[in-house]
């Protein structure tokens, strides 16, 4: 790992900075001594308490704004667009905010880069944080960066649309970009609508954990710290105009994930099945996501966190520090 002083000074604008994954990325940038401008409209899923931590850094400036409404962006080297509505279940119930933020918001940011005044120097590189879900499911094998996109639900469709806007703006207006497609992220500071913190919340309240489609869907798990490192690897290698998959090297069924959560909560001897409700069926359910990420590994990145070694401490974190 490079020392702090070995990193070239960068100015980074991070949207959705109070979200789960970007909180890891922003903190890493600040510890490198980079200047970070954070934008967040502070939705229900934003971690406002984490803002107190970020504002202790002199190299951090916060802007409370919606990316679809902002009229200008700061002079910077990179815009990293983490801002997104990301819960699949919510998108199935009402997709409007997913369209507004994930598509219209991304388009607005791209136009702000496009019209950046020439006296501000070079345009920033636009880094779009996407998802493996844009490819749709795959029962065998894996998806590569060259595969066609087949999103299965409103969330992944909105993210796929945003990716297409980035590619179109690059070709039409000569914008430099990166598209990063990570797999299912886990870690601390995640809002309790996603599987791990939601499961802990239900266990704390004596409620059963709902598993859709009998817990059979398979997900590839990637720690948010490794996702943040992947984005930094791309910046450090000074690559542009490419798409990179980022995978966690680990996949398992949702039922196996919940079993490990329950055992981390109660102990391995507990009958985990009695805490699970299998009656929920989700429309448009993808069966399995899997992506190949040899492209980014050639740049020196690989995941450092192992799910089975991390899950107990993460469950204990949510158990002991739950924010209601």
Token code pair at residue 137: 């499911």
More confident residue, 116 or 222: 222
Has residue 4 got a pLDDT over 60?
no
Please compute the mean of the pLDDT values over residues 295-299 and round it to a whole number.
Answer: 98
Measure CA 304 to chain center.
Answer: 17
All structural domains of the chain with their residue ranges: 9-190+221-250+285-305
Query: What's the pTM value of the predicted model, to 2 decimals?
Result: 0.95
Task: Give the model confidence (pLDDT) of 30-81 as tens digits.
Answer: 999 999 999 999 999 999 999 999 999 999 999 999 999 999 999 999 999 9
Task: Give the model confidence (pLDDT) of 179-201 as tens digits.
Answer: 999 999 999 999 999 999 999 99
Task: Give the model confidence (pLDDT) of 131-175 as tens digits.
Answer: 999 999 999 999 999 999 999 999 999 999 999 999 999 999 999
Q: Report the chain's mean pLDDT, rounded to a whole number.
A: 93
Residues 6 or more apart whose CB falls under 8 angstroms from that of 120 comprise 75
* CB-neighbour burial class of residue 285 (10 A; exposed 0-12, middle 13-18, buried 19+): middle
pLDDT band at 5 (very low <50, low <70, confident <90, very high): very low
- The CATH H-level superfamily of 9-190+221-250+285-305 is NAD(P)-binding Rossmann-like Domain (3.40.50.720)
The DSSP secondary structure of 92-133, one letter per residue, reads HH--HHHIIIIIIIHHHHHHHHHT--GGG-SPPEEEEE--GG
- pLDDT given for residue 1 in this prediction: 37
- pLDDT given for residue 286 in this prediction: 82
Token code pair at residue 313: 């401490």
pLDDT band at 122 (very low <50, low <70, confident <90, very high): confident
Q: Do the strands 218-223 and 251-253 form a parallel or antiparallel pair, or are they unpaired?
A: antiparallel
- pLDDT given for residue 2 in this prediction: 40
- pLDDT given for residue 283 in this prediction: 79
pLDDT band at 6 (very low <50, low <70, confident <90, very high): low
CB atoms within 10 A of CB 313: 10
More confident residue, 112 or 119: 112
Q: Which of these ranges, 4-18, 91-105, 229-243, has the smallest mean pLDDT?
A: 4-18
DSSP state of 253: E
Has residue 121 got a pLDDT over 90?
no
Q: Residue 182: which of 106, 233, 256 has the closest Cα?
A: 233
**Catalytic positions, written as ranges:** 132-133, 155
């Amino acid at each position: 790992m490079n020392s702090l002083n070995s990193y070239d000074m960068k100015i980074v604008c991070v949207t959705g900075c109070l979200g789960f994954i970007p909180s890891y990325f922003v903190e890493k940038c600040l510890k490198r001594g980079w200047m970070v401008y954070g934008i967040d409209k502070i939705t229900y899923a934003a971690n406002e308490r984490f803002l107190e931590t970020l504002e202790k850094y002199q190299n951090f400036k916060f802007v409370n704004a919606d990316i679809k409404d902002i009229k200008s962006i700061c002079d910077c080297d990179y815009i990293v667009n983490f801002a997104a509505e990301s819960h699949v279940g919510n998108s199935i119930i009402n997709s409007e905010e997913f369209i507004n933020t994930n598509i219209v918001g991304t388009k607005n940011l791209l136009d702000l880069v496009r019209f950046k005044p020439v006296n501000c120097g070079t345009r920033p590189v636009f880094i779009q944080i996407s998802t493996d879900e844009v490819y749709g499911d795959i029962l065998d094998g894996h998806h590569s960066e060259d595969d066609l996109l087949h999103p299965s639900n409103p969330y992944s469709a909105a993210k796929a649309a945003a990716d297409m806007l980035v590619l179109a703006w690059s070709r039409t207006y000569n914008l430099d970009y990166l598209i990063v497609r990570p797999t299912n992220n886990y870690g601390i500071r995640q809002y309790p609508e996603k599987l791990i913190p939601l499961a802990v919340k239900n266990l704390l309240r004596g409620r059963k954990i709902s598993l859709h489609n009998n817990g059979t869907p398979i997900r590839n798990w990637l720690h948010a710290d490794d996702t943040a490192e992947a984005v930094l690897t791309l910046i450090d290698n000074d690559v542009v105009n490419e798409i990179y998959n980022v995978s966690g090297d680990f996949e398992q069924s949702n039922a196996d994930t919940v079993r490990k959560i329950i055992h981390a909560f109660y102990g391995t001897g507990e009958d985990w099945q009695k805490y699970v409700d299998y009656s929920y069926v989700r429309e448009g359910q993808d069966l399995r996501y899997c992506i190949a990420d040899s492209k980014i590994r050639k740049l020196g990145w690989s995941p450092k966190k192992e799910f089975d070694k991390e899950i107990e401490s993460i469950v204990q974190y949510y158990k002991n520090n739950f924010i209601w």
